[in-house]
Structure 1
Amino acid sequence: MYQRMLSFRQARRSEDGFTLIELLIVIVVLGILAGIVVFGVGTFRQDAQTAAKAADCKSVSVAAEAWNAKNGNYPTNVQALIDANYLKAPAPAGVGPGFDATGKPAGC
């Protein structure tokens, strides 16, 4: 029995490359990892878009407050803030053109 195991080990050592089972296991593991990455990237993209919209809303709110501090009222639309150089053009995506009574931009 020992002699048979020894000959099997020696035969195995002389082989080069991988077996079909080893290659299939590696392919399956890589497929699982790729699936995790794809779903993770989609989640990160949505989180990034949400954070970008919140930052844009905050920028417009700060510009509207600066307008209010200077003029005593809130602007009628975002374009007025751009024309008065409180914001850079173009208007941030996802932010509505108008404001409510407290100076909060529409869509935020």
Structure 2
Amino acid sequence: MLKALLALKERVKNQRGLTLIELLVVIVILGIIAAIAIPMVMSQQDNAAKNTNAQNLSIVQDAVNRYYTLNNGLPSGFALNDLLEAESGTSHIGGPFLDSLPAVKTFTSCSGAFQLNASNKVAILAGAAASTTDNTAACTQ
């Protein structure tokens, strides 16, 4: 037993550590990997936000279509917040159509909110009511 411990101690004593050159090579390799991976990950975040916006747009449009079908049209001054209201007699049948109104995932070329455009389709619109900009294509494709 004592012999085995002495042999183990001798083996540990003879082991070499990493040289400075080996350590620098490892650091350079990790830097190269990071330089390649970080831009790829950042671009995927924009793609994920676009996909989220496209799915949310589809869900809100489906809720508007269900409201339209059950109520035989949209009331004047219809806002998407009306989709969140519970059923209230004959003037508002079948609600709520959404639990909550999703927010638009913003990124460099996308901003705005889900709103109805002039043709009663859900779009991502930005700006004041008089000068709204349709950002649907920039936010979903």
> So what's the TM-score if we normalise by structure 1?
0.73
What corresponds to 1:51 in structure 2?
51
Q: Which runs of 5+ in 2 are unaligned?
A: 1-13, 86-94, 105-112, 125-135, 137-141
Report the aligned-residue RMSD: 2.0
* Distance apart, 1:40 and its partner CA: 2.1
How many residues align? The count is 93
Q: CA deviation at 1:98?
A: 2.6
Structure having the larger proportion of residues in strand:
2
Distance in 1 (CA, whole Å) between partners of 2:65 and 2:50 is 23
Within the candidate set 69, 90, 96, 1:85 is matched to 96
Q: Distance in 2 between matches of 1:99 and 1:77?
A: 11
Q: Do residues 98 (structure 1) and 116 (structure 2) align?
A: yes
Report what 1:67 is aligned to: 67
Percentage of matched positions with identical amino acids = 30
TM-score normalised by structure 2 residue count: 0.58
TM-superposed deviation, 1:15: 6.7
1:74–1:36 Cα change, 3 Å = farther
Question: How far apart are residue 19 of structure 1 and its match?
Answer: 2.5
Segments ≥4 residues shifted beyond 3 Å: none
Partners of 2:67 and 2:47 lie apart in 1 by 30
CA positional deviation for 1:46:
0.9
CA distance in 2, matches of 1:62, 1:100: 17
Residue 5 (structure 1) aligns with: none
